Amino acid sequence: MPTVTNVGTLLNTPPVALINTMNSITAKLPADEVADNVLKPSPTLWAMIKRGKHVQASELVYPILSQIETTNGPYWGAQLLDTSLTDSVQPANQVWCPYQQTVVIPRTDIIFNSGPDGVLDIVEEKLKIALGSMLMMMAKAVWGITPNNSSIDVDNLPAWVQQTTNTIAGINRSANAFWVPATTATLGGASTMTEADAENGYLLATYGYDEPDVFVMSHNVYRRFKSAFTQNVRFLKPELDNDTIIAGFKEHFVYNNAVVLPERFLQDFQINQASATPSNTVFLLNTKYIYPVFHARDYFVVQPWQKPSNQEVLVSRITITWNIKCNNPRMQATITGYGDGNV
């Protein structure tokens, strides 16, 4: 097959033979859309964000019940009762994390793109690209993927749900067992997560009728897990599952009461680990307790266009201030130990 070449809006060859002549006399009309070939959606971010809140405060502080008060029990007659004080609440404290996306357009490009020659408005398209890029940045931050895993990035899902000895929201987990998420290790080297493995992890994060509602795994684990008991798979239509439709999914594989999501950013996170053969980990989330919070005064704010004094370019920024809050880590779980490195 002959090679097809195309540079900018030049004419392809073949079929054009007189390429210079044709490029000189033929009108070109670009397609009226920018085709995305690099952005990736994050179903986990959408699933969590459906309960996201706008908050206005200098910091995020919320009370955590850290121990049971034992000043109780049976009594009879004039028996002396326990009146000792119990300070059973511990504050969790998080700081806001501002993020920005810069948009830069040369002034001459805006001039050349104006009028009937501008099939697509360059300012509008650059803003769309910037917002898409910003969502990619936020999705990477949710999973702690380079470069969005620095000390000033948000408290990510692996830090909240996978780690058990770190300090998060100002509380040291090594010294405070109540602040540790539920985790379970499966057979090392196993290539398939069985239904028994899933049920073990699911029950670790289940308290009565309060169960995980999102089950996140890499594509290969999803494929193997789903195929292991296809006869038992349930799919919910949107009209039967309000949470699913709010999260933006048409229909999805459901395990118990959790929507099962194959997440590309989880794959990226596992590949991003230092090990040459990263271990597969799946996340069971209860999004009633873990979700993004956004500062009410900085929620996708588009800054006015400005021009530097020594350049003919226009610069704007899109900013957002947010973090990921989790006031109940015990309702979140991971299942780990698939050491085949095939994420």
Tell me whether residue 41 is in a domain. no
Other Cβ atoms within 10 Å of 303 Cβ, number: 13
Q: Within a domain: residue 2? A: no
Residues near 9 by Cβ (< 8 Å), separated by ≥ 6?
28, 30
Among positive and negative, which fits the CA dihedral 189, 192, 194, 198?
positive
Determine, yes or no, domain membership for 269. Answer: yes
Query: Is 235 a domain residue?
Result: yes
CATH number for position 186: 3.90.1690
Residue 26 domain flag: no
Residue 126 lies in a domain: yes
Whether the Cβ atoms of residue 194 and residue 228 lie closer than 8 Å to each other: yes
pLDDT in tens, the chain (343 residues): 445 544 555 555 456 666 777 677 766 666 667 777 888 889 899 888 876 677 777 778 888 888 888 888 898 989 888 888 888 888 889 999 999 999 999 988 888 877 666 667 888 889 999 999 999 999 999 999 989 999 999 999 999 999 999 999 999 999 999 999 998 876 656 667 888 888 889 999 999 999 999 999 888 888 888 877 666 555 555 444 555 444 445 567 788 888 888 999 988 887 766 554 456 789 999 999 999 999 989 999 999 999 888 889 999 999 999 999 999 999 999 998 765 545 4
Distances (CA, A) of 333 to 9, 148, 199, 252, 343: 52, 23, 11, 21, 19
Give the span between the Cα atoms of 247 and 45, in whole angstroms: 9
Our count of domains for the chain comes to 1
On whether residue 121 sits in a domain, the answer given is: yes
Of 318, 267, 18, 245, nearest in space to 140 by CA: 267
Q: How far apart are CA 260 and CA 342, in angstroms?
A: 19
- In one-letter notation, the amino acid at residue 39 is L
Q: What is the pLDDT of residue 257?
A: 87
Domain that holds residue 184: 93-338
The answer to whether position 16 is within a domain reads no
- Nearest 10 degrees: Cα torsion 136, 142, 143, 145: 50
